[in-house]
Every structure is written in structure tokens, then in C-alpha cells.
Amino acid sequence: MEYLCYNLDKLPLMGEGEHLLTEAESERYGNRPTYAKTARILLKQELERRTGIPAQRIELRYNEHGKPYYPGIFFNISHSANMLCMAFHQADIGVDIQKKRPSARREELAKRIMCEEQLRAFINQGCPEEAFFECWCIAEALVKHAGATIWQAPDFPFILHPTHVELLRDNTLTVERFRPASDFYGAVAYTNTACT
């Protein structure tokens, strides 16, 4: 498993990389350099590096929930504010990053994404901001790994411990938490694979 994080404020907006985009991508992202366009160009460059196929010829496909994929390559991307994260693995993978921001709806949202045991612990701790964002990233990484949506998070129950994440249903996965920057949270979920 490998993940790459970029602070897009520290990269040039990649208008000059537009030749790497397909016609449909060019229409989607328009003529102006934006974070979204830069993210797509970075992803295509990384896929080219990993496959040897020219970036211009790489056409991403999408599952029914909008998760992009490319046959034979397992990857996932996440974008929040000015940060981008791309994760790659030998099997299914999901990644999420979130910028810390105030939310009066933490408890309400927690009820939609946490299993009962995790929710009880979260509420008993006073709904701490750090635990909320860590749980949100873990839930997003798990559902993105499965190609599902955040509102299906209760189907992927977990308990957040100080040193690790305990998955309650699937022991074929590993979840790792990380901090891409001081005011961001991140998590990656990936299928365990034998070393080759």
C-alpha cells in the first residue's frame, strides 16, 4: 500500500498538462486551471508511471457510486480544501482526507456513520472534534474501499482505539490513520495481501 499527499497550494495549477486529459475530461474541467483539474492531471501522470500507458490514452471508468477505476490498477483519491491524496495498492483500496472545520452537527452525523458501540463511546467522550474527523475518515475509507457511499457506513462497523482501528466484521482489511497536514485527518483502508 502506498499513498501520496499533495498540498495543491504548493504546486502550480497545471493548465499546461491539459494535453493529458481526454476530450470528455477537458469538457468536464473547463478551460481554467483548478484544483480538480490539477488533481486529475496528477492522477493520470501517476497512472502512466505505474502502467507505462501514455496518460492521454488512460480513460478512467466509474462504478455506480462514482468511484473511478482503471482496469488492473487499484487506486483511490480524496480531496479536501487544498490537499489531495492518492492511494495505490495490489488490491482494493479506499482513502479519505478531511480538513478540520467547526461543525455543530457532529453528533447528528455521527449517528449516521458510526456503529452503536462507537457512537456510545463518542457521545460519552463529549463528541470530541478529533474523534469525529478520525471516524469520518475511517468510515469514508471503508465505504470507498467497497465502492459504496458514506451513508452505507453502518454496514462497515469499527471501533476507534487510541492506537488502532478495530474492524467488527471484516478481518481481511487493514485501516491506517494519518495526518497529511496539521489541520487535516486521513485514513486508508486496504485489502490485506500476501507479500510477493
Q: Kindly report the number of other CB atoms within 10 A of residue 4's CB atom.
A: 15
Q: Are 184 and 98 in contact (CB under 8 A)?
A: yes
Give the pLDDT confidence of 98-120 residue by residue, as tens digits. 999 988 889 999 999 999 999 99
Give the pLDDT confidence of 45-98 residue by residue, as tens digits. 999 999 999 999 999 988 887 788 898 899 999 999 999 999 999 999 999 999
Give the pLDDT confidence of 122-165 residue by residue, as tens digits. 999 999 999 999 999 999 999 999 989 999 999 999 999 999 99
Report pLDDT for 14.
58
* Closest to 83 measured CA to CA, from 188, 187, 179, 7: 7
Report pLDDT for 196.
35
Higher per-residue confidence, 23 vs 49 = 49
Mean pLDDT score, 9-20: 76
What is the rounded average pLDDT for all residues in the chain?
91
Report pLDDT for 195.
42
CA 185 to CA 140: how far, in whole Å?
A: 12
Pairing of strands 173-178, 184-191: antiparallel
Report pLDDT for 94.
96
Helix axes 129-146, 116-124, angle to 10 degrees: 160
CA 144 to CA 96: how far, in whole Å?
A: 8
Higher per-residue confidence, 195 vs 131 = 131
Q: Which residues, including other chains, have CB under 8 Å from residue 174's CB and lie 6 or more apart? A: 1, 189, 190, 192
